[in-house]
């Protein structure tokens, strides 16, 4: 783990890219403000808040292991959100 700042930046970038992909999907399918897209965006924002809260938690005993777990959780949550977005793309295409 390089640094807390890089982890926070990764969380922001990954989840921001997913939100941006939802907006691109909505524009390309001429389906603005879709409920399915809003649901994915809400999940991404909730995930962001939860992960940042975990990164800022200084009460953990083994901080290095905790941050690695947060990084793994980011990866799994991001993959789940991308899967949901891919299902939208297939079903609405």
Q: Is the pLDDT of residue 76 over 60?
A: yes
DSSP string of 53-72, one letter each residue: HHHH----S-HHHHHHHHHH
What's the pLDDT score for residue 38? Answer: 94
Q: In this predicted model, what pLDDT tens digit does every residue of 16-32 receive, in sequence order?
A: 999 999 999 999 988 88
Q: Which residue range(s) make up the domain with 47?
A: 4-92
Q: How far apart are CA 43 and CA 81, in angstroms?
A: 8
Q: Is the pLDDT of residue 78 over 90?
A: yes
Counting the structural domains of the chain, the total is 1
Q: How confident is residue 56, by pLDDT bands cut at 50, 70 and 90?
A: very high
CB 67 within 8 A of CB 1: yes
């Amino acid at each position: 783990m390089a640094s807390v700042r890089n982890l926070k930046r990764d969380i922001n970038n990954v989840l921001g890219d997913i939100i941006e992909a939802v907006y691109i999907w909505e524009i390309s399918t001429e389906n603005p403000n879709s409920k399915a897209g809003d649901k994915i965006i809400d999940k991404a924002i909730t995930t962001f808040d939860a992960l940042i809260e975990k990164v800022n938690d200084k009460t953990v005993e083994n901080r290095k292991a905790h941050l690695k777990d947060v990084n793994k959780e980011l990866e799994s949550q991001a993959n789940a959100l991308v899967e949901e977005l891919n299902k939208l793309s297939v079903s609405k295409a």
